[in-house]
Homo-oligomer: A and B are copies of this chain.
Amino acid sequence: MTDFDLNDFLPYQLAAAAARVSRAFAERYRAEFGISIPEWRVLVHLNHAGAVSVREIHARVDMDKSKVSRAAQRLVDAGYVEKRGHAGDRRLVDLRLTAEGHALVGRILPIAATFQAELLATLGEDGMPLKRALTRIMEGK
């Protein structure tokens, strides 16, 4: 008990590995496309889900709603996203990709797919159990 190595502690291992992977991935598109991780998440979710609200993204993508709101606003300023009032419920804001936003996502997605494929390749047969374990952690909430 008196000897306890942080590097064998699962919460630390998870945090450190996640930080490393995120940094590596972020480098690939920050320089080229100028977007941050929160912005990347919003873009991808909009591409996947169409016109959705801040609340929806917040619920699906593990981001505080203020984080979503600010990331979305930066994307609006950059011309990748447009904001409309929701028909029927005027509290909601519909976010959707602009043509430029679609084009940007189209350029980034192949990079993301390649990145993930390379990562899985280095993990070999542990890749799928890793994904299962992460999914279980997210489900067991």
Is A47 positioned at the interface, with any CB of B under 8 Å from its CB?
A: yes
Q: How many residues of A contact B (CB 8 A)?
A: 59
Closest chain-B Cβ to A12's Cβ sits at a distance in Å of 7
Is A41 positioned at the interface, with any CB of B under 8 Å from its CB?
A: yes
Copies, count? 2
Which of these, B4, B16, B127, contacts A62 with CB under 8 Å? B16
Asked if residues A138 and B20 are in contact (CB atoms below 8 Å), the reply is yes
Beyond known contacts A17-B137, A21-B137: 5 more, CB 8 A cutoff: A6-B48, A11-B25, A123-B133, A123-B137, A126-B132
Top 8 nearest A-B pairs (CB, nearest first) are: A129-B129, A18-B18, A14-B18, A130-B133, A126-B133, A13-B134, A17-B137, A16-B62
